[in-house]
Chains A and B, each alone.
Chain A
Amino acid sequence: MATEAFEDFLKKKKEEDKKVDWEGRRNKWIKTVNDFYNNIHKWLYPFVSQSLLQIKIKEILVSEEYIGSYKLNRLDISIGNDVISLIPRGTLILGSYGRIDMKGPKGDKIIVEQKWNEWRFVTKTAKRELWDVNEESFKAAIQDLANG
């Protein structure tokens, strides 16, 4: 009887796990992050071509419960002596499909993927504010996070 109950418990847990397509979730997250990076490259290309800034890509390992470990890129945007980094934190985030942290000498910003391929900045203050990530807001964020 105890063995049957244990087996039922294990079967139930397996069913629960099946309900979530972890591999599909991970692949979609990786793809949308790469699409987002492509947009950033487009937005910044005119400045890269004038050698006013540099974008370096570094492969990192992201580890998430349920999903496991996978490789994803971080972007390091160099402007003079400052580096602004975009570091993907994962897709299992409360309230969104993923999060990228944007870090610079003057602080951090959080970017979330609220719907697939819809990226927004979010403040972690008491009054939570969200605004779209687009060419204009992204450049403004770089200026906010860099010295000077």
Chain B
Amino acid sequence: MAKISLSRKEKSIDSILNWYEDQVEALRDLKNKIVRAVIYSNAGVKVNPKFLELTIGEIDEYFENSEEELNHLVCFDLISATEALLRVDYYDKISKKDKSPVGREFRVINKKKRNKVSLEDDIVTTWKTATGDTSFSNFLGLLKYRHWLAHGRYWQPKLGRQFSVDIAYEISENIYDVIAVKS
């Protein structure tokens, strides 16, 4: 078996979603505080000087961009947590000599590739073939999106669809459910 020492520090997608909701609320509270300071000409309110001289339209735009950025980063986190789930499950199945079709296929891959197993070509594709579940095809789409985020977004991505936190969470949750049933 490929030698890897697992940290067991994976994040759950629910904790990521929970954190995301806190950040959205905090961003919206901050925006409301600033907008109210504009409306009521409230000089007593302490705000970051970078917001001085901005119109309400510019403040709106600033916070729309902040939420968009937060969405990208949270999607990244959700996809990474799901990768961890898939990889840990892969190593567990190999070490426990899992007898399911997926487990058998993983052992074949492990013999061939050792520690060079590919998430997309080996792990996700094995699950996709074995279960026929569309969540795995969707997850491959998400991985293209994560690749774009992880490498600095310098090219125009051809993702075929717009990803959001809700979509990334739904795809990840489906994968968690499939793996829980099949394990």
Taking Cβ atoms with an 8 Å cutoff, the residues of A that contact B are 19-20, 64-66, 89-90, 92-97, 99, 110, 112, 122, 124, 128
Assess the B38–A92 pair: CB atoms within 8 A. yes
Assess the A89–B55 pair: CB atoms within 8 A. yes
> Could you say which residues of chain A place their CB within 8 Å of the CB of B49?
128
Assess the B59–A94 pair: CB atoms within 8 A. yes
Taking Cβ atoms with an 8 Å cutoff, the residues of B that contact A are 34, 37-41, 43, 47, 49, 51-57, 59
Assess the B40–A20 pair: CB atoms within 8 A. yes
Assess the A93–B54 pair: CB atoms within 8 A. yes
Assess the B38–A94 pair: CB atoms within 8 A. yes
| Nearest-Cβ distance from residue B164 to partner chain A, whole angstroms | 26
Complex: how many Å from CA A22 to CA B33?
19
| Nearest-Cβ distance from residue A33 to partner chain B, whole angstroms | 15
On whether A94 and B47 interact (CB within 8 A), knowing A64-B55, A89-B55, the answer reads: yes
Assess the B51–A94 pair: CB atoms within 8 A. yes
On whether A20 and B53 interact (CB within 8 A), knowing A94-B34, A94-B47, A94-B59, the answer reads: no
Q: Which residue of A lies closest to B57 (CB)?
A: A65
On whether A65 and B40 interact (CB within 8 A), knowing A94-B34, A94-B51, A128-B49, the answer reads: no
Assess the B55–A90 pair: CB atoms within 8 A. yes
| Nearest-Cβ distance from residue B35 to partner chain A, whole angstroms | 8
Q: Which residue of A lies closest to B60 (CB)?
A: A65
Q: Which residue of B lies closest to A110 (CB)?
A: B53
Assess the B55–A95 pair: CB atoms within 8 A. no
Task: List the 4 shortest-distance A-B pairs measured between CB atoms, nearest first.
Answer: A95-B52, A65-B56, A94-B38, A90-B55
Pairs across A and B, CB under 8 Å, 24 listed: A19-B40, A20-B39, A20-B40, A64-B57, A65-B56, A65-B57, A66-B39, A90-B55, A90-B56, A92-B39, A93-B38, A93-B53, A93-B55, A94-B37, A94-B47, A94-B51, A94-B52, A94-B59, A95-B53, A96-B53, A110-B53, A112-B53, A122-B52, A122-B53
> Could you say which residues of chain B place their CB within 8 Å of the CB of A64?
55-57
| Nearest-Cβ distance from residue A84 to partner chain B, whole angstroms | 19
User: Which of A92, A124, A128 is B55 in contact with, Cβ under 8 Å?
Assistant: A92
Complex: how many Å from CA A112 to CA B38?
14
Complex: how many Å from CA A27 to CA B134?
60
- Of the candidates B34, B38, B47, the one having the most CB atoms from chain A within 10 angstroms of its own CB is B38
> Could you say which residues of chain A place their CB within 8 Å of the CB of B43?
95
Complex: how many Å from CA A122 to CA B43?
17
| Nearest-Cβ distance from residue A26 to partner chain B, whole angstroms | 13
> Could you say which residues of chain B place their CB within 8 Å of the CB of A94?
34, 37-38, 47, 51-54, 59
